[in-house]
Amino acid sequence: MAYHQDIKIGVLGGGQLGRMLLQSAIDFNLELHMLDPDAQAPCHQLASSFTQGALTDYDTVLSWGAPFDVITIEIENVNVEALRELERQGKKVYPQPDVIALIQDKRTQKQFYQERGIPTAPFILTENREDVAQHVGFLPAVHKLGREGYDGRGVQKIASKAEIHRAFDKPGLLEKLIRFEKEIAVIVARSSTGEVKAFPAVEMVFHPEHNLVEYLFAPARLQQHLSEKAEDIALKVAEELKIVGLLAVEMFVTPQGEILVNEVAPRPHNSGHQTIEANYSSQYEQHLRAILGLPLGDTACKIPSAMVNLLGEAGHSGPARYAGLEQVLELSGVHIHLYGKKITKPFRKMGHVTIVDTSLERLQEKARFVKDTLKVIA
Amino acid sequence: MAYHQDIKIGVLGGGQLGRMLLQSAIDFNLELHMLDPDAQAPCHQLASSFTQGALTDYDTVLSWGAPFDVITIEIENVNVEALRELERQGKKVYPQPDVIALIQDKRTQKQFYQERGIPTAPFILTENREDVAQHVGFLPAVHKLGREGYDGRGVQKIASKAEIHRAFDKPGLLEKLIRFEKEIAVIVARSSTGEVKAFPAVEMVFHPEHNLVEYLFAPARLQQHLSEKAEDIALKVAEELKIVGLLAVEMFVTPQGEILVNEVAPRPHNSGHQTIEANYSSQYEQHLRAILGLPLGDTACKIPSAMVNLLGEAGHSGPARYAGLEQVLELSGVHIHLYGKKITKPFRKMGHVTIVDTSLERLQEKARFVKDTLKVIA
């Protein structure tokens, strides 16, 4: 479809990913219309129209989607049947409803990798807790709910028989616990024209003691053949899915140099925020180019970067304040992105900070400083 | 003043500069309220509130400004008396009304340079056409209206006595016609805390035959001592004015290596668009930092860039279309910015294109290609 600025685009979800998509859409004169269950969602004042409603409700999605030419998502927990009906009505729905459905269920996602020869950790499908108990020999493993496991929910480590009582009593899967050296992500775009491009791999940096992700580093510090392998795998997943739009592919790098797909998200992703400042094209612009059938942008890095998520401080709930903002803005190469959420809660994603620097050492120092200094409190 | 996201900011003008300021303000959770005479101005759907009204009308500006804590501008043709009254009421008005008033009149602007030892072309103040005729010996000169000369209007070259009939019959000035090798610009920010920083000088590239600006090149290709001299002069102008906010300083570089100030603009400027993609901080973010008293951002270039203004094609008026957009988006490092104007007219500023590339030769080739390929037609 040829670009024209009067094309009507609907977006399911109006959170921070939608907000950054909106910022990019302004450059293309594109109006984005959004649906979100939260009346105060980050996009509520910025979208060309904002509708409050449940993304998982068939009738809501169907009637909301009626006026648009193209429909996309910024969150995958949406009503796929309504999207299928909108597609039948002739609308472009990108990513396609079938792709969203496959990804929504971690069981079908894993089976897909297996069928298509995409490397992933060994797994067993389980129907309920009793079923998990049948596979003691497979432990230690990560037990994952098939559906509705978002943002760390629906995932449970089961080290041994003694922990099986913690298993979910619903359809899920047991995945072999993988020792990994690095956790990386590659964001791929596939256009409605079939063109594909991968952003360089990025790396999650873990705190040396707490074993929590501290910040993200781009590009990933990997031997070149591993970076290339990771990009090839991510491209293969996107091509096998025939997705139109962005696909974020999270992967593990094992000590043996294997690369295993962990999971994917069919939308802009937390691991691509830094592309706004650090790459020739941002993931947000790339998503718009992909769903509009425009040529994909160059994904190369302009400059190395680190990205720190800004989470609500533990013990603080209420109207958000940003302590340490001025000290952080004194550093060269620091760029803050606040998400417009008035209320902070413990661990709520309130914003992120991107840092660009030509020196990897300084990047690390600055990332730690930002992490230690900037606090979202109430 | 300490940063807080509930600070109410009013902006006089809602054009493309305001639009890019809005895109940056989103990252700081800042809401911008805008006043513009055009109900369809580029910000009309994006500002937190948009009021249609005359920027030059005392009562309009005064009553519109009442709810805000900080007031700024994206165009300098505004009612200064109303801003003075808002300042008396305790609001922060940045840039300050006295600075805007001085810059609004090219006569006081030139006198200011002369008094403060800022290098500028020799000039004579003139009151009317008859007065111009008294200074035949000063020709060839550029005759400028003191007030209301915007966007190339109010400027007239007078080569000799025979052309004096073209002189304005109003207060203005005659400026010695300068032979220059390059036309450059330096954007400076001065914060309410007194901190100052200059962006690297940029250069206007003229078409080899038509003698029209073809595109902008950043950083300017100048010997280092000349770049530094230009930045020093621009910083001096900002410090002498004690401006709070951005100041764009346009300068000529003569064949003798002199640098002369041509004129200044107290706001984000066309010569700083490329800072969005090419510098550590954009001019828009820098303006927000300056007026909020936040630390100023690093102004260094991440990567060389060129910027092409996208003007309405001659002979085309009506609903805008963008021919050649897809070819241009196929080039690596190209980023388009459309300004949301539905209607194109000959030479109307409809958008711009920034190109980033590590190779200066490729940048030039791509800038020419964009200029020749992307056309705003009706």
A347: distance to nearest CA of chain B, Å? 19
- The candidate with the shortest Cα–Cα distance to B378, out of B340, B344, B334, B332, is B344
Domain co-membership, B158 together with B272? no
The Cα–Cα gap between A61 and A319 comes to: 31
Asked whether residue B110 is assigned to any structural domain, the reply reads no
Percent residues over pLDDT 90 in chain B: 92
Rounded mean pLDDT of chain A? 95
Domain co-membership, A332 together with A251? yes
CA A222 to centroid of chain Cα atoms: 21
Dihedral sign, CA of A131, A136, A137, A140?
Answer: positive
For residue range B85-136, list pLDDT tens digits in order.
999 999 999 999 999 999 999 999 999 999 999 999 999 999 999 999 999 9
Q: Are A333 and B280 inside 8 Å of each other by CB?
A: yes
Quote the ipTM score: 0.94
The Cα–Cα gap between B134 and B161 comes to: 10
The Cα–Cα gap between B136 and B138 comes to: 5
For residue range A181-191, list pLDDT tens digits in order.
999 999 999 99
pLDDT at position B6: 81
Is residue A53 packed enough to be buried (19+ CB in 10 Å), middle (13-18) or exposed (0-12)?
middle
B6: distance to nearest CA of chain A, Å? 10
Domain co-membership, A282 together with A334? yes
For residue range A29-58, list pLDDT tens digits in order.
999 999 999 999 999 999 999 999 999 999
Q: Are A322 and B19 inside 8 Å of each other by CB?
A: no
For residue range B42-67, list pLDDT tens digits in order.
999 999 999 999 999 999 999 999 99
Q: Look up the CATH number of the domain holding residue A70.
A: 3.40.50.20
> What average pLDDT does the segment B191-213 reach?
88
State the DSSP string of B164-215: GGGS-SSSEEEEEPPP-SEEEEEEEEE-TTS-EEEPPPEEEEEPTTT-SEEE
Q: Are B295 and A326 inside 8 Å of each other by CB?
A: yes
pLDDT at position B1: 45
pLDDT at position A102: 97
Q: What are the phi and psi torsion angles at B231 (to 5°)?
A: -65, -40
Residue finishing a domain among B154, B176, B198: B176
Domain co-membership, A170 together with A212? no
B29: distance to nearest CA of chain A, Å? 5
For residue range A195-228, list pLDDT tens digits in order.
999 999 999 988 777 667 789 999 999 999 999 9
| CB-based contact A363:A355 (threshold 8 Å) | yes
Q: Which residues of B touch A339 (CB under 8 A)?
A: 29
Domain hosting A30: range is 8-93
For residue range A309-350, list pLDDT tens digits in order.
999 999 999 999 999 999 999 999 999 999 999 999 999 999
Given a cut of 90, whether residue A150 has pLDDT beyond it is no
Asked whether residue B102 is assigned to any structural domain, the reply reads no
Domain co-membership, A198 together with A227? yes
- Determine the residue of chain A that is closest to B295 in CA distance: A330
For residue range A174-183, list pLDDT tens digits in order.
999 999 999 9
Domain co-membership, B255 together with B354? yes
B183 is in an annotated binding site: yes
- The candidate with the shortest Cα–Cα distance to B22, out of B210, B287, B214, is B287
The Cα–Cα gap between A93 and B54 comes to: 43
Domain co-membership, B190 together with B304? yes
For residue range A315-326, list pLDDT tens digits in order.
999 999 999 999
pLDDT confidence tier of residue A1, bands split at 50, 70 and 90: very low
Asked whether residue A341 is assigned to any structural domain, the reply reads yes
Rounded mean pLDDT of chain B? 95
For residue range B309-328, list pLDDT tens digits in order.
999 999 999 999 999 999 99
Is residue B316 packed enough to be buried (19+ CB in 10 Å), middle (13-18) or exposed (0-12)?
middle
Residue finishing a domain among B157, B176, B195: B176
Question: How many C-beta atoms surround the C-beta of residue B131 within 10 A?
Answer: 16
A321: distance to nearest CA of chain B, Å? 7
A262 is in an annotated binding site: yes
Percent residues over pLDDT 70 in chain A: 98
Domain co-membership, A133 together with A150? yes
More confident residue, B209 or A18: A18
The Cα–Cα gap between A287 and A281 comes to: 10
A341 is in an annotated binding site: no
Contacts of B138 (CB under 8 A, 6+ apart): B124, B174, B176
Angstrom CA distances, A16 to A95, A284, A377, B238, stand at 19, 11, 19, 37
pLDDT at position A206: 80
Q: Which residues of B touch A285 (CB under 8 A)?
A: 335
* Region of B51 on the Ramachandran plot (φ > 0 left; ψ -120 to 50 alpha; else beta): beta
Question: How many C-beta atoms surround the C-beta of residue A156 within 10 A?
Answer: 17
Q: Is A256 on the interface with B (CB under 8 A)?
A: no
| CB-based contact B37:B54 (threshold 8 Å) | yes
Partners of A232 in the β-ladder:
none
Asked whether residue A288 is assigned to any structural domain, the reply reads yes
Q: How many domains does chain B have?
A: 3
The Cα–Cα gap between B201 and A9 comes to: 40
Domain co-membership, A356 together with A277? yes
Domain co-membership, B194 together with B233? yes
Residue finishing a domain among A176, A203, A221: A176
pLDDT confidence tier of residue B153, bands split at 50, 70 and 90: confident
Between A and B, how many CB-CB pairs are < 8 A?
Answer: 92
